[in-house]
Amino acid sequence: MPIPGNLLTTAMAVMPHKDAEAALEVALSLDIPFWPQLPRLNYYEDMYVQASEHFPGIMLDMDNQTLAFSIDKFIIELEETLSHFDEPDYFDISDQYSDVYRRFLELDLSDRPAIRGQLEGPISFGLNVLDQDKRPIIFDDTVRPFMYEFMAKRINVQLERLKKLNPNAFMFIDEPGLQFLFSALSGYDSTAARKDMEEFLSMIERPRGIHLCGNPDWDFLLNQDMDILSLDVYLNGEIFSSYAGSIKRFLAKGGVIVWGIVPTNFEPFEAENIDTITAQLENIWIVLDKKGIDKDYLLSKSLISPATCCLVNPDGEKTVEKAFQVVQNLSERLRDKYNLA
């Protein structure tokens, strides 16, 4: 089923709330809701910890809130993990690792235009989790192939669950580490990285997409076989719009772009208003239109979201909630202006 566009709203999943019900209510306020990840509630909800559930070799220290990896432990636990490879529940998010996921699955979301899930991707996970030698596990030629397959299974299991609630469900693979993928990373050359990423996406059921907030190699990313791309255009719009050729090819294949335009950090949010945000977003579209990307078609393949997640505001969740409301107001304004149903 296609991912809807027409400037409907969604958002990233990491939220600053300590109240699960309140966070879920805010997530449900958007057109395309999601289940929130709440790292301020407990450490299990950290996006890397959540992705690590049942991954062999993981050493999770809840008292000190650290996540590490041991190759010796990996070797010991690998056989046990492989024995569960045909059990979907084993790869799903458990109640211990999310206080919201099960509640989300119990809702009637059949009337929504779509719903969305997410999981941390293998590149970011592999760069962030360090082994006994303080080396990212993505550099380990033994661990890395298994990691890609393991994360693909986890994403597919979640997507299957979500599709039972709404046939238009899709998944974000959260990959903040993609912006570092093609830098000078000893032990993982760019040719191997490109091949691994392409093979990983081929293991993911559709619809599948990537979310990140930084600046990766846009030519590489936009030419991947994915259905949706979510990014921070509030900070990166000028750079992103310079890749009009790749953007045009991505859209021609049916790709959807999520324009992350409303800041959630306290200071930039306070410095903006809906008029300035509208102008900034429309200016990006004007640039792309001049480069040969038809605006009407672009908007039909576009969603609107906050620019980023934010956990560090002095007012806790208040600015984030205000940003979600601005996202809705912006969507309504633009949908009315461009006569989008």
Rounded CA separation 283/72 (Å): 54
DSSP class of residue 34 equals B
Rounded CA separation 320/334 (Å): 21
What is the pLDDT, as a whole number, of residue 184? 60
- The tokens for 332 are 């309504």
Global pTM value: 0.96
- Can you name the residues that pair with 67 across neighbouring β-strands? 60
Confirm if 244 and 292 have CB atoms less than 8 A apart: yes
CATH no. for 8-337:
3.20.20
What is the pLDDT, as a whole number, of residue 33? 98
What is the pLDDT, as a whole number, of residue 183? 67
Q: What is the pLDDT along the chain (341 residues), one digit of tens a residue?
A: 689 999 999 999 999 999 999 999 999 999 999 999 999 999 999 999 999 999 999 999 999 999 999 999 999 999 999 999 999 999 999 999 999 999 999 999 999 999 999 999 999 999 999 999 999 999 999 999 999 999 999 999 999 999 999 999 999 999 988 888 766 655 677 777 788 889 999 999 999 999 999 898 899 999 999 999 999 999 999 999 999 999 999 999 999 999 999 999 999 999 999 999 999 999 999 999 999 999 999 999 999 999 999 999 999 999 999 999 999 999 999 999 999 97
- The tokens for 270 are 């306070």
How many secondary structure helices (H) and strands (E) does the chain include?
15, 9
Q: How many CA atoms are closer than 13 Å to the CA of 341, on its beta-carbon side?
A: 2
Rounded CA separation 218/52 (Å): 28
Q: Give every strand in the sheet of 8-9, ordered side by side.
A: 8-9, 302-306, 256-262, 228-232, 208-211, 170-174, 116-120
Q: Is 107 helix (H, G, I), strand (E, B) or coil?
A: coil
Rounded CA separation 150/234 (Å): 33
The residue among 212, 226, 218 whose CA lies nearest residue 176 is: 212
Count of C-beta atoms within a 10 Å radius of residue 190: 14
